[in-house]
Amino acid sequence: MRTYAERYREIYQQASEAEDLATVIERILIDSVHEFTLPDDTHPGCLLSSAAMADSTSTLDTSAYFTELQGSNERTLLARIERAVREGELSTDADPAALMGVVQSVWHGLSARANLGSGRGELLATARLAHRLICRDLTSTAVDRTHPTRLTRGEDPPTG
């Protein structure tokens, strides 16, 4: 299982090397969907998360490993987002932790949906929409710094 789990770390590490943050996010989401939806007989894919969350003593080591892996992936993504802020790709008002949380929430949702049987096409459509929505917010943050977006520090989204 660790061999397969390391593939996710590789996805994050390779994606974080992309020149721009939009490509980083796209690669994490799209490449992960491809990994989640590999045939079960050759790859456990998203079953890693369900195996790690099973409540038994036989999965404690797997759970601890999975927790470390997820923490590593989050740190990799957060460092890349912080770099985007430092280099001026994102506004200094951007909240790197919130953006990382959004990407990770989408990632976990895609994993869970794959585990429940959603197909690759459906998951790719979801990942692409999430990517567009996130990047639209990032673009408006970088272009129009006078109107904060939901991914800026200390700003709550407007309520209806």
Q: What pLDDT, on a 0 to 100 scale, did the predictor assign at position 47?
A: 47
Sequence-distant (≥ 6) Cβ neighbours of residue 8 within 8 angstroms:
32, 35, 48, 69, 73
Has residue 149 been placed in a domain? no
Q: Residue 150: which pLDDT band, with cuts at 50, 70 and 90? A: very low
Has residue 52 been placed in a domain? yes
Has residue 154 been placed in a domain? no
The whole-number average pLDDT for the span 149-156 is 49
Arithmetic mean of pLDDT over the chain? 82
Q: pLDDT tens digits, residue range 38-81?
A: 987 665 544 445 544 555 555 557 778 778 889 999 999 999 99
- Which residue segment(s) compose the domain that 41 sits in? 2-143
Number of domains in the chain: 1
- What percent of the chain is modeled with pLDDT above 70? 72
What CATH number did the domain enclosing 78 receive?
A: 1.10.357.10
Has residue 67 been placed in a domain? yes
Has residue 39 been placed in a domain? yes
Has residue 121 been placed in a domain? yes
Tokens for 149? 């977006």
Note the pTM of the prediction, 2 decimals. 0.78
Nearest to 140 by CA among 94, 85, 83, 97: 94
Tokens for 111? 């994993």
Compare 137 and 28 and report the one with higher pLDDT. Answer: 28
Report the alpha-carbon distance of residue 77 to residue 48 in Å, rounded: 20
Has residue 157 been placed in a domain? no
Has residue 93 been placed in a domain? yes
Tokens for 88? 């001026």
Q: What pLDDT, on a 0 to 100 scale, did the predictor assign at position 142?
A: 54
